[in-house]
Amino acid sequence: MKYYTYFPGCSASSEGGAKAYGWSSKAVSKVLDMELRELDDWNCCGSTPYSSVDELSSLCLSARNLALAEKKGLDLVTPCSSCYVMLNRTNSRLKEYPQTKAQVDEALAAGNLEYHGTVRVRHLLDVVVNDIGYDEINSKVKRNLGGLKVAPYYGCQVVRPRPSFDHPENPQSLDKLITSLGGRAVPFPLKSRCCGGSLIISEEALALGLIRKIFDSALSNGAECLITPCPLCQTNLDAYQSQVNKKFKTNFNLPVLFFTQLMGVAFGLGEEDLGLRTNIVPAERVLAKYI
């Protein structure tokens, strides 16, 4: 059994829009003998919006989480790419800028907390493919995906900006994961290009154009569904797919799954663990043979 402190982030929490990501992350981890222990009383990471209006408060938001996690002495694992970037960014800022660290320390002290910079922040995808590994994943497959053509969509922040567990522009971990489940990862040139992120809210037309390109790229290589390790990417590609169709008079009907949902399908898990009912574009059509 491997143990981790778990940081769901707002989206993948039980109150969030990507709650099925949280459910399937926990269920899949159980199959893989990983225990995700949710950090008590965590707060929002602030995401990009907070860091774009107030740097110190944004760092303090993450620092509080890191300080709470440090007491547990385990790696801090999050399924959210934005939380992953924000928590890591805080770690490196505190390491590189002593003056910033002094300010954050002072603010934390007002809450009776201290942080010594020892928490390693990791993305769930990293943990699954590197701590557990493809062979182990393969050994848990109960329903081989039998060549299902899957587009591995990484999005941006799981691989950028920090040098991490995969290539920043041509990552492979999701591709290999799909193979280990018996599926086929389709060639996907735009696999790590941006879906528009939170600008889907403020600049919708612009983001819809970016999403359209991603669908074009995935479908030109015959994808039957798409998987992603990012809650915001999933929401943009799934919930806004009909808006893309309306705006560009296209006909996309591509199921968009959290990578843990697809793993769960291959592991033979049930709907209560997968939460496929929360997917806007129905996934049952392409997954019927397996569920």
- Asked if 202 is part of the footprint of other proteins (rule: CB under 8 A), the reply reads yes
Structure tokens at 3: 């143990």
User: Is 141 a binder of other proteins (CB under 8 A)?
Assistant: no
By CB under 8 A, tell whether 43 contacts other proteins.
yes
Quote the least distance from Cβ 151 to other proteins, whole Å.
Answer: 18
Residue closer to other proteins, measured from CB, 100 or 138? 100
Interface positions, 57-96, toward other proteins (CB under 8 A): 57, 59-61, 64, 93, 96
Report d(CA 231, CA 122) in Å as an integer: 16
Phi, psi torsion values for 177, nearest 5 degrees = -60, -45
Which of 37, 116, 142, 277 lies at the binding interface for other proteins (CB under 8 A)? 277
For the bound state, the minimum distance from the C-beta of residue 217 to other proteins, rounded and expressed in Å, comes to: 13
Q: Report yes or no: 150 and 226 within 8 Å, Cβ to Cβ.
A: yes
161 is a site residue for other proteins (CB under 8 A): yes
- Cβ(13)–Cβ(24) under 8 Å? no
Choose between 107 and 141: whose C-beta lies nearer to other proteins: 107
DSSP state of 226: E
283 is written with which tokens? 């996934």
Say how many C-beta atoms besides its own lie within 10 A of residue 253's C-beta: 14
The structure tokens 């459910």 sit at: 23
If the CB atoms of residues 183 and 196 are measured against other proteins, the closer one turns out to be: 196
- Does 199 engage in binding with other proteins (CB under 8 A)? yes
* Buried-state track 152-177, b at ≥16 Cβ within 10 A, e below 16: bbbbbbbbbeeebbbeeeebebbbbb
DSSP structural state of residue 237: H
Shortest distance, position 57 Cβ to other proteins, whole Å: 5
Inter-residue contact 109 to 13 (CB < 8 Å): no
Binding residue for other proteins, selected from 10, 148, 181, 262, defined by CB under 8 A: 10
Chain residues binding other proteins by CB under 8 A are: 10-11, 13-19, 41, 43-44, 46-57, 59-61, 64, 93, 96-97, 100, 103-104, 106-113, 156-157, 160-161, 168-169, 193-194, 196-199, 201-203, 206, 210, 235, 239-240, 242-243, 275, 277-280
